[in-house]
Structure 1
């Protein structure tokens, strides 16, 4: 189970599996927060283990920095498996990107790999990814039909192009 988000999701206040109202979001070159992960119990009604933070690394093997708003995790974690590797995708929040990172374990660490979706009309970029009939799809939402009212969202679906090397082609939601 993956969960967490900063700001409204309060992840910045939830460290070491405890809530502390005094905690703030990291800033500057401090390591960015990652989502939390924990294995569900066999009944899928609770956790079989304590949750832990997921580490997202840059191309040099260093944790993404808190001030790297174009790549750091903000909210909406999703995990899928492709060609034996795990893909963690997530929203960057205030830069409105949907990004992904790749790892060899569902617990990470994951290495940042790129942008899946360019910004959409509206604030959030919540999503899911699945394969159906031999094709991968990205499900997300935007606020085009409401004229940009961010809480009035419309579901979108588009093919996701996975390259033979495992990379994902960036999608421009309104262009080519």
Structure 2
């Protein structure tokens, strides 16, 4: 793991070279889940705080405890913070670590999907509901049955079906569910239970949602990520394999599954013909940013696509104090995504 704070970088110069500026700078925000609801942009990020936790590979220093919703009138406007939309103290089953959320809209209701550690120290995924896109959100008393791990992302397909994608390695605990139940052995090791380098990589999960968006309509199953020859990506292929931060968008009839490679710090993507995949790896979307994590969303605003992401340049490299940003994302004439370099050379 890199050091928590990077001291050898001129951050004033770096911020000048950054291709975009923080959407808000009065608080630290990360993992931006962006949606275009009713002609307005709404961003559902995690809220970074200095929780005083030790810096470790389990992510203990990411001690977030609430969610704020940020809105933008248009892609050029300043972000507006609508205050606390949901706090961990309001969620009966949750104890701590309100990590990357997502949101969805259906029939006049807004749904906030979020991971948190329960009182047993196991990540689950919950849902909270509001009549407003900015909340406040009222949480369900229990986590979604059959949910586990982190980073929920809910995709609405054109036929009205909704699907949740989720999962994250290391501190995200996905590797502890390989047998179908949580493996609590070696709790201090983030890499215990991972496949060997020459074995198939752990894949993200997908589950179709019930009509009310409150539960899974099916058992979660793997989202298969394959190479150009049709072979599953291997665990040792850490520049391409899934680590966390699942996202799905649809462009010209094709499904694009994008994700973070974690310890190699790329945002990558694959293309498929079904929301279930398989998805054939096609390349990078975003080169590494300042800070250890890389987490994104892709949202269409009117006739253009945008990549929402974060970095730690505003906090001068403090890993767990990040800021959300946005830049235009371009699909070329062949449907491939132009890779983005976050800092001008």
Once the two structures are superposed, what CA deviation does each residue of 1:26-75 show, in whole Å capped at 9, x if it has no partner?
12110001111001101100000000011100111000010001000000
Q: Structure 2 matches for 1:44-83, cutoff 5 A?
A: 44-83=213-252
Aligned to 2:275: 106
* Pairwise CA distance, 1:117: 0.2
* Separation (CA, whole Å) in 2 of partners of 1:75 and 1:88: 12
Superposition pairs for residues 153-172 of structure 1, below 5 Å? 153-172=322-341
Tell me the CA shift for residue 129 of structure 1. 0.1
Q: 2:200 aligns with which of 15, 22, 31?
A: 31
Aligned to 1:13: 176
Alignment of structure 1 residues 137-176 onto 2, 5 Å: 137-175=306-344
The CA deviation at 1:10 is 0.6
The 2-side partners of 1:133 and 1:41 are apart by: 29
Q: Per-residue deviation at 1:14?
A: 1.2
1:2 aligns with 2:162: no
Deviation per CA, 1:56-106, whole angstroms, max 9, x where unpaired?
A: 001110000100010000000000001111101000001000000111111
What is the CA deviation profile of residues 3-39 of structure 1, one whole-angstrom value per residue up to 9, with x for unaligned ones? 1000011111113543233570112110001111001
Residues matched between the structures, number: 176
Q: What is the TM-score when the length of structure 2 is the normalising length?
A: 0.50
**Structure 1 CA distance, aligned partners of 2:274 and 2:282?**
15
| TM-score with structure 1 setting the length | 0.97
Cα distance in structure 2, aligned partners of 1:21 and 1:53:
22
Hey, what does 2:103 align to over in structure 1? none
Which consecutive residues of structure 2, in runs of 5 or more, have no partner in the other structure? 1-163, 186-191
Larger Rg: 2
Q: Show structure 1 runs of 4+ deviating over 6 A.
A: none
1:18 match: secondary structure: coil
Task: Answer whether contact 1:17 1:50 (CA < 8 A) is retained.
Answer: no
CA distance in 2, matches of 1:33, 1:56: 10
